Amino acid sequence: MHPLSAVVQQPDFAAELNPEQYAAVMTNARHALVVAGAGSGKTRTLTFRVARLLADGVPSWRILLLTFTNKAAREMLARVGELTGVDSAQLWGGTFHSVANRILRRHAGRLGYQQGFTILDSDDQKALFRSLVKQFAGKTSKKDRFPKPEMLLSLHSLAHNTGRSWQRTLDEEYAHLEQHADTIAQIFEAYARRKEESNSMDFDDLLLNLVRLLRENADLRQELQQRFLHVLVDEYQDTNVLQEELISLLAAGERTSLMVVGDDAQSIYSWRGANVDHIFNFCKTYPDAEMHKIETNYRSVPAILEVSNVAIAHNSRQITKVLRPARPASKFLPAVIPAPDNRTEAQMVAREIDSLLESGIAGRDIAVLYRAHFHSLDVQMELSRRHIPYRITSGLRFFEQAHVKDVLSVLRLLINPRDEVAFRRLVSTFPRVGDATASKIWSGWLRVVESLPPDETRIASYSEFMRPVAVAPAVRPHWVAFLSFMDTLRPAGQELTPPELIKRVQNYLDAHLRTTYENYEERLEDIAQLARTVGDSPGLDDFLSQVALLSEVDQEVQPDDDCVTLSTIHQAKGLEWKVVFIIFLAEGMFPHYRVITEGDTNAMEEETRLFYVAVTRAEDRLYMSFPRYNGHSYDSQYCPPSRFLTTLPPDLLEVWEC
């Protein structure tokens, strides 16, 4: 009798798995690729495989499970615990970064680190970059508009994760920073030095250093290769070069077996360095590899599955798979909702969510998915109006985003010159202005405002009235430019419409936006959307009070279970909900206009995969909507329905009348 068989429960694998999943769970092949469509139980297969290995007596410390998030690993291991009764605490499960950290904790000494190195989180990194920018860009004449630390960090990280030099990454993706290349070089060198001196690593170093450690130290490599008898990887389609190298270093162990699980049709992270070729080439890299396909889908009702099958069929390069539904047919067809404009679209989504909640569906079973964060603006406003609790996994709530706050500050100050918070925010966008300077300028400003007659709420000429405000000579040019800009917001005493105002504010803040934030272009899209939404409000005062009230509603604390999820599709990877809404399915929005205009087939195929990921999150109900016009009174854009919708056979869908 096996020594462990007395304590380990034997799950009934054959009952819990279909024959394809069962074969993958039970295989003794040294290398195996499980490639299957969404919702076919890949993650479940990997979970059961871990259970099977433990049930077979493999010690948990000899298993390594690599997942997309640490939370996913925890959930999988909890399930393994339920299935086998084995405490899997010794098992190494988590993201590549967490595993790298674990190994480096013991062995980083070999790379010259001292015991107990620090991991720099993104705040620490930013702080370090900030001081380096001050040091190196402080003396150059270009100082005023030198890129902000966040942007340098993104460049630094993308270069690491795509295995490119930062110079090449700069050329290819950050061409607008080219003029600063020499200073950036100095900063990056100093950054590396500082990290070394302070015995610390950033997130990217964790992966890079681990790969280096294993490449350079045969004894350690062998030790790990001997330790891990089984390496298992979920979401393999989104591994980057470093992760791939790490997998192959570990899997090179004589007795190590490797199982990777993925869906080439769900590779959606190439912009962060993921490379779908790893899954395509798996059987070439490991010629003895066994390939398992799972062709049954357990997640979605047949009508949703048909839509997803058709959606992905257009992609040229893929491992062919057909998905058969396991679930019985439902009476609902996926709905297509053409709305006259973005606001109506949001109203329809919110109204439908309201009636789903009324019918007894829980908020946690509903998700609204979108390609870009700004697409969620109107839905956020509508849900708040209806007091429907939601949580956003794609980032900050729209109006909490720094660049949106920057723009709103100007509008607030225009209406209320006593708005200290708005004033400080704006003045701090000037180079070389910190808290102390902002306070001084604010006192001068306030003195002028207080000297005005009480009924004069608007300042007729900023340049003239604010002349007495004392500012240091170094700040003066920015101050003067700011005042003349403020004057352009009421040309000859005439009121501009809110969207026109926003346009001017955006032009004025352009250099600040460009150099302060990463994803400059996406932020411009946010601001354009802001202008459209303001354009639909009766007036600026009204809009600003609405925004303020929105944040009050936001602060109501809601139990997580009741919350509807708002998420980008990227963040929704691997997850599932009973009801899914995909919004903004319009040409130019999704697929993105840049991909359409550049005519890049690979990029378009990635958009298609993204749509496939979105559709396949839905279990019971799927709604796909688009606005015919984005914005209706200002700068409204006509939006043809997305090609992802128009290429679907009409008989698979129910089109709503609007």
Among ligand ATP, Mg ion, none, partner that 39 touches (CB below 5 to 8 angstroms by kind): ligand ATP
Residue with tokens 């950290």: 101
In the complex, least distance from residue 24 CB atom to ligand ATP, rounded to whole angstroms: 11
Whether residue 591 is preceded by a cis peptide bond, meaning omega within 30 degrees of 0, is yes
The count of residues interacting with Mg ion (CB under 5 A) is 3
Classified as helix, coil or strand, 379 is helix
In the complex, least distance from residue 653 CB atom to ligand ATP, rounded to whole angstroms: 22
Task: With beta carbons less than 8 A apart as the criterion, state whether 590 and 644 touch.
Answer: yes
How many angstroms from the chain centroid is the CA of residue 239?
Answer: 16
* Cβ neighbourhood burial of 440 (10 Å; 0-12, 13-18, 19+): middle
**The token pair that represents 445 in the structure block:** 């400003």
Query: Which among 222-230, 274-282, 381-389, 567-575 is the span making contact with Mg ion, rule CB under 5 A?
Result: 567-575
Classified as helix, coil or strand, 274 is strand
Binding of Mg ion by 574 (CB under 5 A): yes
User: For 633, what's the count of Cα atoms within 13 Å in the CB-facing half-sphere?
Assistant: 13
Nearer to ligand ATP, 49 or 156 (CB): 49
Query: Which among 55-63, 249-257, 570-578, 587-595 is the span making contact with Mg ion, rule CB under 5 A?
Result: 570-578
Nearer to ligand ATP, 184 or 323 (CB): 323
Among Mg ion, ligand ATP, none, partner that 44 touches (CB below 5 to 8 angstroms by kind): ligand ATP
What letter would DSSP give residue 163?
Answer: T
Alpha carbon of 239 to those of 30, 68, 306, 391: distances in Å? 20, 9, 28, 28
Nearer to ligand ATP, 513 or 610 (CB): 610
Residue with tokens 């919110």: 350
Nearer to Mg ion, 431 or 574 (CB): 574
Nearer to ligand ATP, 12 or 288 (CB): 12
Report the residue closest to ligand ATP, judged by CB.
41
In the complex, least distance from residue 617 CB atom to ligand ATP, rounded to whole angstroms: 7
Among ligand ATP, Mg ion, none, partner that 95 touches (CB below 5 to 8 angstroms by kind): none
Nearer to ligand ATP, 53 or 540 (CB): 53
In 3D, which of 270, 338, 212, 323 has the Cα closest to residue 609? 270
In the complex, least distance from residue 622 CB atom to ligand ATP, rounded to whole angstroms: 14
Among Mg ion, ligand ATP, none, partner that 263 touches (CB below 5 to 8 angstroms by kind): ligand ATP
Nearer to ligand ATP, 205 or 263 (CB): 263
* Cβ neighbourhood burial of 1 (10 Å; 0-12, 13-18, 19+): exposed
Among ligand ATP, Mg ion, none, partner that 515 touches (CB below 5 to 8 angstroms by kind): none
Q: Amino acid identity, residue 514?
A: R
Query: Which among 35-43, 222-230, 407-415, 418-426 is the span making contact with Mg ion, rule CB under 5 A?
Result: 35-43
Nearer to Mg ion, 43 or 401 (CB): 43
**CA distance linking residue 185 with residue 363, whole number of Å:** 49
Nearer to ligand ATP, 525 or 576 (CB): 576
Q: Amino acid identity, residue 587?
A: E
Nearer to ligand ATP, 68 or 482 (CB): 68
In the complex, least distance from residue 321 CB atom to ligand ATP, rounded to whole angstroms: 11
For residue 110, count other CB atoms closer than 10 A to its CB.
Answer: 15
For residue 618, count other CB atoms closer than 10 A to its CB.
Answer: 29
Residue with tokens 């001997």: 226
Classified as helix, coil or strand, 583 is coil
Nearer to Mg ion, 45 or 101 (CB): 45
Binding of Mg ion by 45 (CB under 5 A): no
Binding of Mg ion by 318 (CB under 5 A): no
Classified as helix, coil or strand, 375 is helix
Out of 21, 40, 43, 309, which residue is the one contacting Mg ion (CB under 5 A)?
Answer: 43
**The token pair that represents 227 in the structure block:** 């330790």
In the complex, least distance from residue 74 CB atom to Mg ion, rounded to whole angstroms: 15
Please give the residue ranges that form the binding site for ligand ATP (CB under 6 A): 17-18, 21, 36, 38-44, 263, 266, 298-299, 574, 576, 616
In the complex, least distance from residue 574 CB atom to Mg ion, rounded to whole angstroms: 4
In the complex, least distance from residue 570 CB atom to ligand ATP, rounded to whole angstroms: 13
Continuous segment of H or E residues that includes residue 391: strand 390-392
In the complex, least distance from residue 530 CB atom to ligand ATP, rounded to whole angstroms: 33
In the complex, least distance from residue 609 CB atom to ligand ATP, rounded to whole angstroms: 12
Task: With beta carbons less than 8 A apart as the criterion, state whether 468 and 446 touch.
Answer: no
For residue 561, count other CB atoms closer than 10 A to its CB.
Answer: 10
**CA distance linking residue 310 with residue 641, whole number of Å:** 17
Sign of the alpha-carbon torsion through 278, 284, 290, 296: positive
Among Mg ion, ligand ATP, none, partner that 17 touches (CB below 5 to 8 angstroms by kind): ligand ATP
**Alpha-carbon torsion angle 625, 628, 633, 637, nearest 10:** 110
In the complex, least distance from residue 548 CB atom to ligand ATP, rounded to whole angstroms: 39
By CB under 5 A, name the binding residues for Mg ion: 42-43, 574
